[in-house]
Amino acid sequence: MTLSVTDLSCARGGMPVLEGVSFTLEPGRVLVLRGPNGIGKTTLLRTIAGLQPALSGEITGAEDRVAYGAHADGLKAALTVWENLAFWAGIYGTPLERIKPALFAFDLYPLQYRQAQALSAGQKRRLSLARLLLTGRPVWLLDEPTVSMDAASVGLFAEAVKAQCADGGSALIATHIDLGLETDTLDLTPYKATPVWEFADRAEEEEFFA
């Protein structure tokens, strides 16, 4: 099933940031979101994930089908790598046998009995991404997934995305780097919401407040 977004507008902190965003994400495809900081990549992902309501527009094919990977790792420092993954497997009703392949996919197997607080930033990031494999959800919504990861880890991540797509899944990824994957790209710059009111220049602003 295709994830499709039609004429979507969303807001951050009460201010509209994006309007009129439309795209479709077919199974087996990867769509990379681009755009400068503050354009609303995270806001768009959060809206599709259902964490915040859209101002207007329609999202279909997202209900109970998306796995959201946020900026924050969402790990419990006092739990081991394995326990962190086992928790999410339990939440998504995934059999525990699937943890081992997920550990291998992100090269975490040797670290599985280590507490998450003893991991480096890049290792935490990898653990957070390994969680996605246990959700069993077909559509991944990822917000800057490769932050603090080295080239080899980015390679592992690209492999995981490839496997996900080969499996009929798809991914919507906000990132600034080149993942080395065959992807579609959506630049959000043209969808920037027009502000309700904006001063044309400094002089006009000073005149207004005078």
Q: Give the footprint of another protein on this chain (CB under 8 A).
A: 12-13, 42, 49-53, 64, 66-68, 70-79, 83, 86-93, 131, 135
- Give 93 or 110: the residue with its C-beta nearer to another protein: 93
Cβ atoms of 171 and 164 closer than 8 Å: yes
**Least distance in Å: CB of 142 to another protein?**
12
Cβ atoms of 67 and 141 closer than 8 Å: yes
Distance of alpha carbon 208 from alpha carbon 164, whole angstroms: 55
Distance of alpha carbon 156 from alpha carbon 169, whole angstroms: 17
Torsion of CA 51, 186, 143, 84, to 10 degrees: 90
- Give 90 or 155: the residue with its C-beta nearer to another protein: 90
- Give 1 or 51: the residue with its C-beta nearer to another protein: 51
Query: Could you say which DSSP state residue 78 is in?
Result: T
**Least distance in Å: CB of 74 to another protein?**
4
Task: Return the H-helix or E-strand segment holding 133.
Answer: helix 121-135
Distance of alpha carbon 158 from alpha carbon 181, whole angstroms: 7
- Give 11 or 160: the residue with its C-beta nearer to another protein: 11
CA proximity to 136, closest of 169, 183, 100, 159: 169
Write out the two tokens for 92.
């998504």
**Least distance in Å: CB of 21 to another protein?**
18
- Give 12 or 29: the residue with its C-beta nearer to another protein: 12
**Least distance in Å: CB of 188 to another protein?**
17
**Least distance in Å: CB of 5 to another protein?**
17
